[in-house]
Amino acid sequence: MIYLAIDNGISGSVGWVNESGSSSGVFSMPTFSEQDYVQKKQNVTRIDTEVLSQKLKDLVVEALTVSDFNKSSVRLFLERPLVNPMRYRATLSAIRAWEATLIVLRPFKWSYVVVDSRKWQKAMLPTGCKGPELKVASVQVGCRLFPDHADWIKDQCDADSLLIAEFARRNKL
């Protein structure tokens, strides 16, 4: 069994943990930037769907080498995208990323569970963390639980996808 988690968004990541917790992997969401055609000249960052699809295929091959794995033994968890009318541009970005991710996942035919960030954060991060403290706690807890990925976690500035996967594994979701 592989617990695969996607931290939604252009600054998100994809992480996995096997059933025993003895193996894990993670990578940053592949993205590219291009000009956005709106009234004011600006760029927009999008998920690179071709690269994401290939990385997911590679992940399946990697998981095959480290555990008793088949395609039907993937449990996929997607973090719910931010939707907040007060943060219009961030919401648009989150919804674009969500749609792109769902399109990439469709050929894999994996069922998935949508997880609210508050639910996994409550279980995996210290009590009372909020705002910017959440990212700091994510890095600290992630480095402690996944020391093999500590450099990546520090570069990414969070371990959210790994922590979502570990949350799912611990709770046997």
> Which pLDDT tens digit goes with each residue over 73-96?
889 999 999 888 888 888 888 999
What was the pLDDT predicted at 88? 84
For the stretch 105-142, pLDDT in tens is 999 888 899 999 999 999 999 999 888 899 999 999 99
Q: How far is it, in rounded angstroms, from Cα 108 to Cα 92?
A: 25
Q: Is the pLDDT of residue 71 over 60?
A: no
Helix axes 160-170, 117-124, angle to 10 degrees: 80
pTM for the predicted model, two decimal places: 0.91
Provide the pLDDT for residue 145.
97
For 32-44, the pLDDT digits (tens) are 998 877 677 788 8
- In this predicted structure, the answer to whether residue 25 has a pLDDT above a threshold of 90 is yes
Name the phi and psi angles at 21, rounded to 5: 80, 10
